[in-house]
Structure 1
Amino acid sequence: MEISAAGRLEVRITAADVGKRVSVRRLSGAAPIGDKFTDTVGVLTSWDDGVLVITRKTGESVRVDASSLVAGKVVPAAPARRRGPAASYAELARVAARAWRPLESERLGGWELRAAAGFTRRANSVLPLGDPGMPLDAALDVVRDWYGRRGLPAYVQTATGAEGTEEVLSARLEERGWVREVTAQLWIGALAPVADRAEAGGVVTAREADGAWLARYRRKGVGEAALKVLAGGSPRAGEAGSGDGPSVWFASVPGPDGGAPAAIGRCVVDGRWAGFAAVEVDPARRREGLGTTVMAALARRALAEGASAAWLQVEEENAGARAMYAGMGFVAHHAYHHYREPSAEPSRDSARESSRESSRESSPRSSTGAS
């Protein structure tokens, strides 16, 4: 908290600090001064009519009555990270987007509008890395029209919790009635320890997902849009990555009698980054370490292609998966959220497939959330 030369707490923030990361102390409820305080740290996303809105790194918005403030100051944009590869939010957002390519996309200033016939929110949402080049309400009108012409609900993917993330945009969407449906976290870690976690014997790796792999991924027929997204699409000119663009690897542990594999996984190698997703294990074979074995095999492929860092996405409430990945050396970098336009129902394909993007390993629920 900010303390004056006289030793008293001071409020050193104003409405001019909207968009900056702040730390404030306020009176709790009707407690008298000196009795009970509450501290809040996050991005100051608005200050209107005597009320502050502060968005925490989880995406949660906290309303604070300015009259209750006893101290406040601007703090560094993001805390120093002690573990994990050095990485900016913009770098990771672009790497994650290249790992799950839409079938079509269009630029709106610094925003990318993405669509893939409704297969997953990530491939059917706006990635707002920059300014759309017009006022927000006008940009959202363009977004709604673009997705409406494709028979899809409009989604905007935002992020919170790191330098350069979109706390202010998240707050503006909520003010306009956009509904936050999904929150997950992107975790990062060194790649070599993942490769060393388990022996990779018995794991089959390939450049394409065969019928057996797909049988474990969904246990039903996979549509053309899903196949194209899983395959990685076509590299885009001028994008970073190994060779002509990111490369995709699929891995599986064969099941008995040539049926569905006991475990599968997918990895996208993009320059120094290896992104893991779709790690699924036969429910009858969980807690045998098969998911870790699949990841180790994929990590070795990625290391051979020159990658050194790893990322994955995990649902915020999945404590079991978070503990497992923490044990592998991963740490949370930022949270991301999908906001759906007001009065729009999520498409059935998007809702169904979002649960299938998740990786499954030893925890009873999906290990990574990639909706």
Structure 2
Amino acid sequence: MSGLGARDIGHRVVVRHRIPGGLTDVIGVLQAGTPELVTVRHADSTLYDIPVADIAAAKRIPELPLRPVDVDQLFLTASLGRPAVERAYIGQWLLRASAGWTGRANSLLPAGRPGVPVAEALEQTVAFYTERQLRPQVQVRVGSPFDQEIRALGWVDARPGQSDVLVMHTTLDHVNAAPGYEVQLTERPDDAWYAAAFEGPVPVVAPQVLEGAAKARFASVVQGGRVVAVGRGAMTGHWLGVDSIRVAEGFRRRGLGTAIVQGLARWSGPEGGRRTYLEVLLENIPALTTYTRLGYQEAYRYRYLTNR
């Protein structure tokens, strides 16, 4: 590929090539390459197919430094990427309920302003969840003003024995290299995907939550006729949210989780994806190590508070 090889696929490159009247450079991620044609994806997801015969020079270049993230925006974006079954608002604060399955889908998200005093908003929150026979919970960014204000009103950790949840982010340039395994992507998960994603029965409401995003893909890796790794990716604006990654016991520590992330990232790019986020418990050291190695960095941490 005129100075580029298969190892460069998924990495940033610069390709100088001939056009009528002179030379021009294309900078982006090398998406594919054959002896005849090189495909480079620009930062805006435009694909450039460049004949190898027209290339004057080409090389891999360093990845862009990771820009700071707007944590207020990402806090809301992460919720929209995995929408709850039932939603209501107190001003800009989002109430979510999904029959009790997962904290994210059954807690108040205090993003923006509630439009009423915080104490009154919390009273409405308690009423909302009590009516649905759910424990009142608020998802708060650790150390944020709302975290402090809600605690001052008597709310406490809902899960004191659990570590913080770490929300990590990076750019697609860091994670869209070619996967080491074939990753299959579908618009809807089948029974085999769900069987691999859950240990035991699938919660009744889980399909509504996982399949509720406007634009999502369900990834899987099959070996020996068996689904051994799965994950889910959802697009919200230019953000790709990755979740539900699970690798079957006996197949871990082989790079399957990494392949799932990379497969979803390579789908997201042509769809307008620029950045990606995921969540991991701080105590999950193996997963945290994998994501850090891929280039993910901490954006913020969150916990759940309750009034009882």
TM interval, shorter chain, is 0.7 to 0.9
Distance 1:273 1:85, change over 3 A: farther
Q: How large is the Cα RMSD of the aligned pairs?
A: 1.9
Distance in 2 (alpha carbons) for counterparts of 1:227 and 1:319: 28
Distance in 2 (alpha carbons) for counterparts of 1:199 and 1:193: 15
Partner of 1:118: 100
Tell me which of 243, 247, 253 is aligned to 1:287.
253
Shift of 1:265: 0.8
CA deviation string 1:340-370 (max 9, x = no partner)? 222xxxxxxxxxxxxxxxxxxxxxxxxxxxx
CA deviation string 1:71-113 (max 9, x = no partner)? xxxxxxxxxxx95244312221221011110111111112111
Q: Normalising by structure 1, what TM-score? A: 0.61
| Residue identity opposite 2:169 in structure 1 | I
Residue correspondences, number: 241
Aligned 8 A contact 1:197 1:292 in 2 = no
Q: Where do residues 314-329 of structure 1 align in structure 2 (5 Å cutoff)? A: 314-329=280-295
Tell me which of 274, 286, 299 is aligned to 1:308.
274
Alignment partner of 1:190 is 2:190: no
Partner of 1:61: none
Shift of 1:232: 2.1
CA deviation string 1:251-292 (max 9, x = no partner)? 111243x44x11011111222111111111011111111111
Aligned 8 A contact 2:238 2:272 in 1 = yes
| Residue identity opposite 1:230 in structure 2 | L
| Residue identity opposite 2:222 in structure 1 | P
Q: Where do residues 198-209 of structure 1 align in structure 2 (5 Å cutoff)? A: 198-201=179-182, 203-209=183-189
Aligned 8 A contact 1:110 1:130 in 2 = yes
Distance in 2 (alpha carbons) for counterparts of 1:304 and 1:147: 40
Partner of 1:140: 122
Alignment partner of 1:171 is 2:148: yes
Is the partner of 2:115 in helix, strand or coil? coil
| Residue identity opposite 2:218 in structure 1 | F
Q: Where do residues 1-371 of structure 1 align in structure 2 (5 Å cutoff)? A: 83-160=65-142, 167-180=144-157, 181=159, 183-196=164-177, 198-201=179-182, 203-233=183-213, 246-256=214-224, 258-259=225-226, 261-342=227-308
Gapped regions of structure 1 (runs ≥ 5)? 1-81, 162-166, 234-245, 343-371
Is the partner of 2:175 in helix, strand or coil? helix
Aligned 8 A contact 2:167 2:279 in 1 = yes
Q: Which has the higher strand share?
A: 2
Distance in 2 (alpha carbons) for counterparts of 1:304 and 1:133: 39
Gapped regions of structure 2 (runs ≥ 5)? 1-63
CA deviation string 1:106-163 (max 9, x = no partner)? 11112111111111110111111122222222221111111000010011111136xx
Distance in 1 (alpha carbons) for counterparts of 2:273 and 2:145: 33
Aligned 8 A contact 2:168 2:296 in 1 = yes
| Residue identity opposite 2:273 in structure 1 | A
4+ runs of 1 displaced by more than 6 Å?
none
Distance in 2 (alpha carbons) for counterparts of 1:324 and 1:217: 19
| Residue identity opposite 2:122 in structure 1 | L
